[in-house]
Structure 1
Amino acid sequence: MVDLTGSSSPFQQSIPNFAFYLPAVIVFGLAALFGYKLYKSLMEKELKKQEKVKNKHTKKSKKNN
């Protein structure tokens, strides 16, 4: 619990720790999701590029035969 008042105050006010943990979990979860999506997108792009080069070489070799 986070105390918002001093010890001399007659009224005690506090915020439960859950109020801080939940937004932190959400932010880190979203960052992980976007990071995964970015990684997946870059890997797909790289695979397509490699496939394109491979197809280009096979067409070139077929043309020479």
Structure 2
Amino acid sequence: MKKCGMSFSEFLRDTALKAIDKSENWNLLEYINANCAYMNSSEQEEIEALNIDFDNLNGKELTLDELLQG
């Protein structure tokens, strides 16, 4: 790697920082498309049956204990 003006560890560090910067700049749609599988129709129907108002942002923040206790 010295031929291009940096050591191998500098190259790895630089590459990792660029990858981190790119992933931090993804928008939600890009992140979902890259990391989440599509739902099958039965899962979609189950969610729609809950009649969740996704525009209503009122809620309560859960603690880890509350989440683990169900």
Bigger proportion of residues as strand: 1
**TM-score (normalised: structure 2):** 0.33
Greater relative contact order (CA < 8 Å, ≥ 6 in sequence) = 1
**TM-score (normalised: structure 1):** 0.35
Larger Rg: 1
